[in-house]
Structure 1
Amino acid sequence: MTELIDPISRETEEIMRRFNDAFLQHDPAALAGLVAEDCVIENTTPAPDGARQVGRAACLAVWQGLAARTDASFTLEEVFVAGERATIRWRYRWGEEAGQSVRGVNLMRTRDGLIVEAMGYVKGA
């Protein structure tokens, strides 16, 4: 990441670092302190709009389930932070073959030190 100046961007950067580390280290418990009560996820599937999860419990269930999977992994490609917003580009792999992965992006928003919104998109045919 580039050098950040404003305190809100610094806070968002730290939240995104902790969020991404939970997936990279397969540590679902690390997500518990990052999610706001009114968090909303628009997931990548099913097409065309993705499933919508509303509330801390529903969002944690999705993310903790992904973070717990030791048979799959995320690779970070880029994280960009601007104020309360972050963009995370990633690749998700569930096997060794090229066809067993997908590239995507999450558009994230934070407020008061917690994640309040995550909109996921994937490359598709």
Structure 2
Amino acid sequence: MKPDSIIDIHPDDQSRETAEIMRRFNDVFQRHDPSALAELVGEDCVIENTVPAPEGARHTGGEACVGLWTAIATEAGTRFDLEETFVAGERATIRWRYWMADGNSMRGVNLMRVAGGRIVEAMGYVKG
């Protein structure tokens, strides 16, 4: 796990709140423990993820988003290396490298949005 110093925070209250939510969100995947997701994800959350290629899939609603992220976080033999998390206001960008169980990896980015203290939008993109 990388130190918190890789999180750049814009100096305002909304950015600080978003940064804390992103820290807790990233911890889910670093620790393979999805127990915090229910309190981090809004009921109106929307995820556009990276699979199936090339368009990905859209997941709507808190339950669907928690379910998807739980499956990713608990997938055996995988890990995320966090490269950077940048926060400005209600928005965050997370750069990462995902290591699959077979040893291959891919780099990607999530564009996140927080509203009302919860994640309401996540758009995932991978380097092709």
Residue in 2 that maps onto 1:47? 53
Q: What displacement does 1:46 show?
A: 1.2
- Identity among equivalent positions (%) equals 63
Q: CA deviation at 1:48?
A: 2.0
Give the aligned partner of residue 103 of structure 1: 107
Letter in 1 for 2:118: L
1:75 aligned residue: 81
Q: Which residue of 2 aligns with 1:122?
A: 126
Indicate conservation of the 8 Å contact 2:10/2:89, yes or no: no
Question: Given the superposition, is the C-alpha separation of residues 58 and 92 from structure 1 closer, same or farther in structure 2, using an over 3 Å criterion?
Answer: same
Shift of the 78–29 alpha-carbon distance from structure 1 to 2, 3 Å rule, reads: same
Partner of 1:14: 20
The aligned residue for residue 66 of structure 2 is 60
Counterparts of 1:56 and 1:96 in 2: how far apart (Å)?
30
- Return the letter of the residue paired with 1:106: N
* Structure 1 residue ranges, 4+ long, deviating more than 2 angstroms after superposition: 1-4
The Cα RMSD (Å) is: 1.2
Q: Using the alignment, how far apart are the partners of 2:9 and 2:79 within structure 1?
A: 28
Could you say if the C-alpha distance between residues 3 and 28 of structure 1 is closer, same or farther in structure 2, counting changes exceeding 3 Å? closer
> Is 1:38 the counterpart of 2:29 in the alignment?
no
- Deviation sequence 1:36-76 (CA, Å, 0-9, x none): 00000000111222100000010011001111123100000
Unaligned runs of 5+ in 1: none
Give the TM-score taking structure 2 as reference length: 0.91
Structure 2 segments unaligned to the other structure (5+ residues): 1-6
Number of aligned residue pairs: give it: 122
Q: Is the 8 A contact 2:49 2:56 kept in 1?
A: yes
